[in-house]
């Protein structure tokens, strides 16, 4: 890199002290290279314009060329706005500004020709564009092809740094950089994958010579961004595993064999076998396992956890299973106990509500090794929980735990226990590659046999009588029913009112003594919740009216109907999770999505996707497209999925390729010490410096 590229932004031609301050604060641009790395988010094809008379559709983005007429102010109060007509030979549209009127008036010139870009709206006969992007047509200007559009902010606009203003700064700087932009990827990769050079990419991302060059530049820069991140993740994965010694589970012993031969209640599915094999390989290899098992609801993850725990026991270690809620922990406890009831294996439960007295005994038995398997909530990672020799930690439903908790688990033994993370929230492959890029991933992509697909229907509120009649029939056949209400915010009193109203109308329609209805929500005391839950599990009540407390893990195989009220308010993954509560027995099960008639486009897509697919992975792809990666995963982990130019939704293919190539590079040269890879080593150092907060993420 030339010294010039490090020029502080205030010394770049056309910037100066005032604008430099804004560029730093608003866009994080501190030096010339930062400016050059401020990539456009879109291009205008400067060679094509729509004639105003051809503009018909509302809401379409159009590019017009015409003369702007005189400004006038119309409306009062908050609807006060500045308007001006734009004419071309075929007609006129109205340009409208609600904000920044003073600036608009002083910077745009009446009677001059402009190129105008914006979204068309139609009010009656009148066409208008609010807050258009405007550019003066310079006389005698050489016509351009694709013109870059840059993101800007209101404060920058006020200092003349609109998209065009930023473009001018870059335009001024680029010629002097010819020959100074160093290649950042190894030559052998650039050649092998036919990438354009870094310099060509930088020049063409800002000033594409043609559409083909703009695409090549986009590809090159997106690839580089994704590739370097994958290198980083894969290198770290290598450090966790191969460089961290792990307990070596060499034997398959009595516990495992005895259980497998004599007590396994069903034949494992092919997918379960495959995943156990992958895990066994890790456990025998002498390094520290960090593996994520993704499997749809009902795919049989619990049995995988149990079998792997038995392997730990066979090798002289203890195992623990951590679940995100007390209900789930108890459910795991019940499953483990029933599977192991005839075997001499001590399983214990530890949750927040374990009594102090019992705790003391439990801790003692844990330390002297009498307890072999400990199941519980996050209470497990508290400091005073000490094991004699913990060899395996299973963490169920990972996305509810922070990654910090994962690392606390590591400290439970001098050599960290193997970590098996299980999640029933399928996430798209490309997202997993990034968010869990430093874990090995196994997928249980098969459901146990004989299970009937849940039938999913969408009905409107007004069909409630029909829905009640259906519920009645199912109950008459001995089935049980869930009715779930949204409770997005615990403090939302309106949601509680909906829930209680719903409960009332259900008890009216299904009165005692013929029917029993349970209710379950977050504001109930733990023992009341437990009581109601148990009544339903034992089949004493036919209907369970609940909020999403039941979302995870509850397993009542006799329940065959899941009614989801206000289904339009739930996210796709939540709907799918809820649906997973039914279809666990041999009977045909149903999921009924109840919504209002008025639905947003996204809500329609979600509900339709649910009725069309039972595949959690397919639904997660839809979800990713609807919400984007950041919203889908919540903000906590979004640092890893924020990119300068790449887009995890659109660039899945590039990512897949980048991952493959990165794996190849790391396999051949794990430490990147080969002279040929020295640029990559530098890129990783830069990446780490620019994103210090990452260390917290995993
Ligand atoms: P999840 O992956 O959602 O945690 P579970 O482990 O709770 O799924 O399993 C769901 C149900 O399927 C349980 O009732 C379990 O006993 C049953 N099950 C698991 N594996 C098999 C199998 N291979 N064959 C038949 N039933 C199975
Ligand atoms: Mg489970």
CATH code of the domain containing 411: 3.40.50.300
Question: Residue 587: inside a domain, yes or no?
Answer: yes
Q: How confident is the model at residue 697 (pLDDT cuts 50, 70, 90)?
A: very low
pLDDT tens track for 444-455:
988 888 778 899
Q: Do residue 403 and residue 362 come from a single domain? A: yes
* Residue with tokens 């990446």, as numbered in its chain: 687
pLDDT of residue 398: 57
Cβ(250)–Cβ(315) under 8 Å? yes
What is the C-alpha to C-alpha distance for residues 698 and 690, in angstroms, rounded to an integer? 17
Q: Do residue 307 and residue 382 come from a single domain? A: yes
Q: Do residue 365 and residue 483 come from a single domain? A: no
Question: Residue 86: inside a domain, yes or no?
Answer: yes
Q: Do residue 235 and residue 259 come from a single domain? A: no
Across the range 664-685, mean pLDDT stands at 94
Which is nearest to 60 in space by CA: 50, 48, 69, 45?
Answer: 50
Q: Do residue 270 and residue 418 come from a single domain? A: yes
Between residues 446 and 220, which one has the greater pLDDT? Answer: 220
pLDDT tens track for 477-532:
999 999 999 876 656 677 778 888 999 999 999 999 999 999 988 788 888 888 98
Closest ligand 1 atom to Cα of 557: 14
Q: Do residue 64 and residue 211 come from a single domain? A: no
Q: Do residue 471 and residue 581 come from a single domain? A: yes
Question: Residue 194: inside a domain, yes or no?
Answer: no
What is the C-alpha to C-alpha distance for residues 19 and 274, in angstroms, rounded to an integer? 60
pLDDT of residue 3: 56
Between residues 466 and 78, which one has the greater pLDDT? Answer: 466
Mutating to test ligand 1, I would choose from 272, 299, 423, 448 the residue with most ligand atoms within 8 A of its C-beta, which is 448
Q: Who's near 292: CB < 8 A, 6+ residues apart?
A: 398, 421, 422, 423, 432, 436, 439, 440, 441, 442
Which is nearest to 240 in space by CA: 294, 282, 295, 284?
Answer: 282
Closest ligand 1 atom to Cα of 305: 6
Task: Give the predicted TM-score (pTM) of the model.
Answer: 0.71
pLDDT of residue 139: 67
Atom 4 in ligand 1: residue holding the nearest Cα? 301
Question: Residue 162: inside a domain, yes or no?
Answer: no
Q: Which two tokens stand for residue 197?
A: 């050079």
Cβ(41)–Cβ(174) under 8 Å? no
Q: How confident is the model at residue 143 (pLDDT cuts 50, 70, 90)?
A: low
Number of compact structural domains in the chain? 4
Find the 495 Cα to ligand 2 centroid distance in Å: 28
Across the range 136-143, mean pLDDT stands at 69
**Which of 112, 143, 174 corresponds to the end of one domain?**
143
Report DSSP state, residue 492: -
Closest ligand 1 atom to Cα of 266: 24
Residue 426 has pLDDT above 90, yes or no: no
How many other C-beta atoms can be found within 10 angstroms of the C-beta atom of residue 243? Answer: 10
Question: Residue 124: inside a domain, yes or no?
Answer: yes
Cβ(519)–Cβ(546) under 8 Å? yes
Find the 321 Cα to ligand 1 centroid distance in Å: 17
**Which of 128, 143, 158 corresponds to the end of one domain?**
143
Between residues 695 and 235, which one has the greater pLDDT? Answer: 235
pLDDT tens track for 536-577:
999 999 999 998 766 555 678 899 999 999 999 998 988 998
Q: Do residue 310 and residue 397 come from a single domain? A: yes
Find the 292 Cα to ligand 2 centroid distance in Å: 14
Q: Which two tokens stand for residue 547?
A: 């909020």
pLDDT of residue 677: 96
Question: Residue 366: inside a domain, yes or no?
Answer: yes
What is the C-alpha to C-alpha distance for residues 471 and 464, in angstroms, rounded to an integer? 10
SS3 state of residue 485: coil
**Which of 371, 399, 423 corresponds to the end of one domain?**
423
What is the C-alpha to C-alpha distance for residues 208 and 215, in angstroms, rounded to an integer? 9
Q: Which residues line ligand 1 (CB under 6 A)?
A: 266, 268-269, 272, 295, 297-303, 424, 448, 555, 584
How many other C-beta atoms can be found within 10 angstroms of the C-beta atom of residue 483? Answer: 23
Atom 24 in ligand 1: residue holding the nearest Cα? 448
Mean pLDDT of the chain: 88
What is the C-alpha to C-alpha distance for residues 525 and 540, in angstroms, rounded to an integer? 20
Question: Residue 28: inside a domain, yes or no?
Answer: no
Computed from CA positions of residues 490, 492, 497, 499, in that sequence, does the dihedral angle turn out positive or negative? negative
* Residue with tokens 């983005």, as numbered in its chain: 61
Q: Do residue 531 and residue 554 come from a single domain? A: yes
Across the range 43-64, mean pLDDT stands at 80
Closest ligand 1 atom to Cα of 450: 25
Residue 301 has pLDDT above 80, yes or no: yes
pLDDT of residue 681: 95
Q: Please report, for the chain, how many H helices and E strands are present, in that order.
A: 23, 22
Q: Do residue 272 and residue 233 come from a single domain? A: no
Least distant ligand from the CA of 298? 1
Cβ(268)–Cβ(303) under 8 Å? yes
Q: Which of 44-48, 55-59, 177-181, 498-502 has the lowest mean pLDDT?
A: 55-59
Question: Residue 327: inside a domain, yes or no?
Answer: yes
What count of Cα atoms within 13 Å lies in the side-chain half-sphere of residue 443?
11
Q: Do residue 568 and residue 653 come from a single domain? A: no
Residue 313 has pLDDT above 60, yes or no: yes
Computed from CA positions of residues 433, 434, 436, 438, in that sequence, does the dihedral angle turn out positive or negative? positive
Across the range 217-229, mean pLDDT stands at 96
Q: What residues make up the domain containing 368?
A: 254-285+300-423
Q: Do residue 73 and residue 97 come from a single domain? A: yes
pLDDT of residue 692: 57
């Amino acid at each position: 890199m030339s010294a010039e590229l490090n020029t502080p932004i205030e010394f770049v031609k056309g910037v100066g002290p005032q604008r430099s301050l804004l560029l730093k604060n608003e866009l994080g641009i501190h030096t010339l290279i930062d400016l050059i790395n401020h990539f456009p988010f879109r291009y205008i094809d400067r060679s094509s314009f729509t004639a105003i008379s051809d503009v018909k559709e509302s809401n379409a983005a159009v590019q017009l060329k015409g003369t702007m007429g005189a400004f006038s102010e119309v409306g009062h109060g908050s609807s006060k706005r500045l308007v001006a007509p734009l004419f071309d030979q075929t007609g006129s549209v109205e340009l409208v500004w609600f904000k920044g009127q003073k600036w608009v008036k002083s910077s745009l010139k009446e009677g001059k020709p402009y190129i105008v870009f914006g979204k068309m709206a139609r009010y009656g006969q009148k066409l208008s564009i609010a807050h258009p992007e405007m550019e003066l047509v310079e006389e005698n200007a050489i016509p351009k092809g694709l013109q870059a559009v840059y993101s800007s902010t209101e404060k920058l606009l006020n200092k003349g740094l609109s998209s065009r203003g930023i473009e001018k700064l870059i335009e001024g700087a680029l010629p002097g950089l010819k020959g100074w932009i160093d290649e950042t990827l190894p030559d052998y990769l650039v050649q092998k994958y036919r990438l354009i050079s870094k310099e060509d990419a930088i020049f063409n991302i800002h000033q594409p010579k043609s559409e083909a060059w703009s695409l090549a530049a986009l590809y090159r820069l997106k690839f580089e961004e994704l590739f370097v991140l994958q290198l980083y993740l894969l290198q770290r994965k290598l450090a966790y595993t191969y460089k961290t010694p792990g307990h070596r589970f060499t034997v398959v012993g009595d516990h495992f064999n005895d259980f497998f031969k004599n007590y396994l209640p069903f034949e494992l599915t092919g997918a379960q076998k495959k995943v156990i094999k992958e895990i066994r390989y890790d456990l025998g290899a002498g390094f520290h396992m960090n593996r994520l098992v993704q499997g749809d609801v009902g795919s049989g993850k619990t049995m995988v956890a149990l079998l792997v725990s038995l392997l730990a026991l066979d090798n002289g270690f203890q195992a623990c299973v951590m679940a995100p809620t007390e209900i789930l922990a108890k459910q795991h406890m019940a499953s483990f106990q029933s599977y192991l009831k005839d075997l001499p294996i001590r399983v214990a439960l530890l949750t927040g509500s374990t009594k102090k007295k019992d705790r003391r005994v439990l801790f003692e038995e844990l330390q002297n090794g009498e307890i072999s398997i400990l199941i519980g909530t996050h209470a497990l990672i508290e400091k005073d929980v000490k094991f004699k020799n913990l060899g395996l930690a299973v963490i169920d439903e990972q996305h509810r735990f922070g990654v910090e908790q994962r690392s606390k688990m590591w400290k439970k033994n001098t050599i960290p226990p193997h970590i098996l993370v299980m999640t029933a929230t399928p996430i798209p492959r490309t997202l997993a590659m990034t968010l869990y890029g430093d874990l090995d991933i196994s997928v249980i992509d098969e459901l146990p046999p004989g299970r009937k697909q849940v039938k999913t229907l969408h009905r409107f509120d007004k069909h409630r009588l029909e829905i009640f009649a259906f519920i009645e029939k199912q109950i008459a056949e001995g089935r049980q029913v869930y009715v779930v209400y949204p409770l997005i915010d615990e403090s939302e009193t309106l949601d509680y009112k909906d829930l209680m109203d719903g409960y009332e109308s259900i008890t009216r329609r299904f009165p005692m003594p013929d029917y029993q209805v349970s209710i379950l929500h977050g504001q109930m005391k733990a023992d009341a919740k437990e009581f109601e839950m148990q009544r339903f599990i034992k089949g004493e009540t036919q209907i369970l009216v609940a909020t999403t407390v039941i979302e995870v893990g509850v397993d009542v195989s006799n329940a065959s109907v899941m009614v989801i009220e206000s289904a339009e308010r739930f996210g796709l993954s939540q709907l799918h999770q809820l649906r997973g509560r039914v279809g666990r027995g041999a009977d045909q099960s149903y999921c009924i999505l109840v919504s209002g008639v008025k639905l947003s486009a996204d809500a329609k897509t979600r509900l339709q996707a649910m009725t069309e697919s039972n595949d959690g992975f397919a639904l997660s792809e839809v979800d990713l497209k609807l919400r984007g990666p950041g919203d889908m995963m919540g903000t906590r982990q979004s640092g890893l999925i924020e990119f300068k130019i790449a887009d995890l939704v659109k660039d899945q293919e590039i990512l897949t390729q980048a991952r493959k190539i990165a794996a190849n590079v790391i396999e051949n040269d794990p430490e990147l010490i080969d002279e040929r890879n020295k640029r990559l080593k530098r890129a990783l150092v830069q990446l780490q410096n620019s994103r210090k907060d990452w260390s917290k993420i995993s």
